[in-house]
Amino acid sequence: MKLKLPDSSYNWTTLAGATIALISFFMIVFLFAISFFFDQGGSYLGLIIYIVLPGFMISGLILIPIGMVIKNKREKKSKGEFHNQLPKIDLNDVKHRNAAMIFLFGTVILLFISAIGSYEAFHYSESVEFCGTTCHVVMKPEYTAYQGSSHAKVACVACHVGSGADWYMRSKLSGLRQVYGVITGDYNRPIATPIHNLRPARETCEQCHWPEKFYSKKLKMQRHYLNDETSSEWDIGMVMKIGPDFGALGLSEGIHWHINKDVKIEYVSTDPKNQVIPWVRYTNLKTGKITVYQNEDEPLEEGMLDSLEVRTMDCMDCHNRPSHNYNPPAFFVNNAITAGTMPKELPEIKSISMTILSEDFGTTDSAMNYIKDEMNNFYEENYPDIFENKYELIQKAITGLQNEFNKNIFPEMKVKWSEYPNNIGHVEFDGCFRCHFDNHVSEEGLVISKDCNQCHTINMQGNPQDLQVASINEQLEFKHPVDIEEAWKEMKCIECHTGLNP
């Protein structure tokens, strides 16, 4: 039995629209079944199911009435009927009745599918998979660093969007601009950190991290290797004063005192990455007393303060790379040797690794080839016996260095440690020394001190064969692995440590 429909439905535009809509619908059902029952397809399948195919289906549905309207106009024009009339629906006409039933049931099915699709599209667009892998080249550095971070089990949107409809809409509108940038290739390399449009850290970070319940102290152990022939080991153990001596004292002292609810710290920065801080204002919210500190070495010019943004210090001013940190070579090579993925028994392994990584590379492939060639050539020329008899160790070192490179340096996006300052610590970047360097002084003569023991105490340091050790309540004076006399007391670490030094 042939299905009777209005004469206006018999045209190529309507037929094409119906064909596109039906094919898209069955493809959505088929691919959804594969994704749901067999867990196949990955991020790109989700992109096709919830975004691409629904777009085609809706386009096809729109073409159906467009074709009918166009045909109606043509028929009226050919009959000399030029007056505009609204469409007539006569349910006593079997053609109209069939079309109405198809429209009614089709609308119900479309609304049902749209509800499911919209729900799934919302969750898919909020997923880590979508954020990290859909724009593979652009987001590869961020996604790779995220997977190795302490927040690897936290969804991207939990920090980047947070709760609330206003921030959700803001993120989606921003996302449209980013999609356009990816399609046209108009995006920064490297991607800039969005310092100025992040929501307040206390609205996101403190959903999980409750300030009043920070641990009082934490033992931190580090192992370094020097750039000598044996890659001499140098260990250091520190008690980090992230809080007071006793947890019951809350945030009364220690590193996290900066976000004490009774304290307000404000500052201005003269650079986009907030690395140069010439002015700090401390307010005791209990007493109302205000103390202003200015950098005597680089003071603000008169009137300059009025043109600068005054920011209130929060979590992100120190923890500015909580999930996307790119480690410097000296750091990730140390870790690789300690973990055994790079063999310490190879002579000068630390030194040659630093030499290799001091080069700039245009692509990842060129870096992989350079690491392989330079490592092989170095040991073949300088240690021929090792090259001949312990060749497998050299290959292990090559693989280990390549793997660490791929986790931290991304030439195509121009991403590496030096592009994103990490404000935790003060070795490769100013970090704490942005304010704590004895050069921020108030009118009363108060100084923001650089005393190491304010934040940590050293209770273990040195070569394992000659290790200095103190009890948990005692402290050692820092001893530099290389004898530079008292210079370390006057200089900033970054004057020597560039990320390529031990």
Distances (CA, A) of 208 to 203, 204, 255: 10, 8, 19
Q: Is the pLDDT of residue 43 over 60?
A: no
Instruction: Give the residue, 101 or 282, on which the prediction is more confident.
Output: 282
Residue-wise over 184-210: b if at least 16 C-beta within 10 A, else e? eeebeebbebeeeeebebeebbeeeee
Average pLDDT, the chain: 85
Looking at the structure, do residues 235 and 303 belong to the same domain, yes or no?
yes
Domain with 151, as residue range(s), is: 129-187
Q: Is the pLDDT of residue 75 over 60?
A: yes
Looking at the structure, do residues 317 and 218 belong to the same domain, yes or no?
yes
Looking at the structure, do residues 172 and 290 belong to the same domain, yes or no?
no
DSSP letter (8 states) at residue 228: S
Alpha helices by DSSP H, 127-189: 128-133, 136-147, 156-160, 165-184
pLDDT of amino acid 212:
67
pLDDT-wise least confident of 57-71, 270-284, 426-440: 57-71
Distances (CA, A) of 400 to 316, 391, 407: 32, 14, 11
Q: What is d(CA 53, CA 23) in angstroms, rounded to the nearest whole number?
A: 9
pLDDT of amino acid 87:
65
Looking at the structure, do residues 23 and 92 belong to the same domain, yes or no?
yes
240-293 pLDDT, tens digit per residue, is 998 888 877 878 888 988 888 899 999 999 998 899 999 999 999 999 999 999
Looking at the structure, do residues 299 and 431 belong to the same domain, yes or no?
yes
Per the domain annotation, does 196 fall within a domain? Answer: no
Per the domain annotation, does 311 fall within a domain? Answer: yes
Nearest to 22 by CA among 65, 69, 56, 71: 56
Looking at the structure, do residues 65 and 157 belong to the same domain, yes or no?
no
Instruction: Give the residue, 197 or 263, on which the prediction is more confident.
Output: 263
Per the domain annotation, does 192 fall within a domain? Answer: no
Looking at the structure, do residues 110 and 179 belong to the same domain, yes or no?
no
pLDDT of amino acid 355:
95
Domain boundary among 107, 125, 143: 125
Looking at the structure, do residues 83 and 166 belong to the same domain, yes or no?
no
DSSP letter (8 states) at residue 139: H
- Angle at CA of residue 153, ends 164 and 248, nearest 5°: 80
234, 458 Cβ separation under 8 angstroms: no
243, 251 Cβ separation under 8 angstroms: yes
Strand partners, 235: 223, 462
Looking at the structure, do residues 367 and 426 belong to the same domain, yes or no?
no
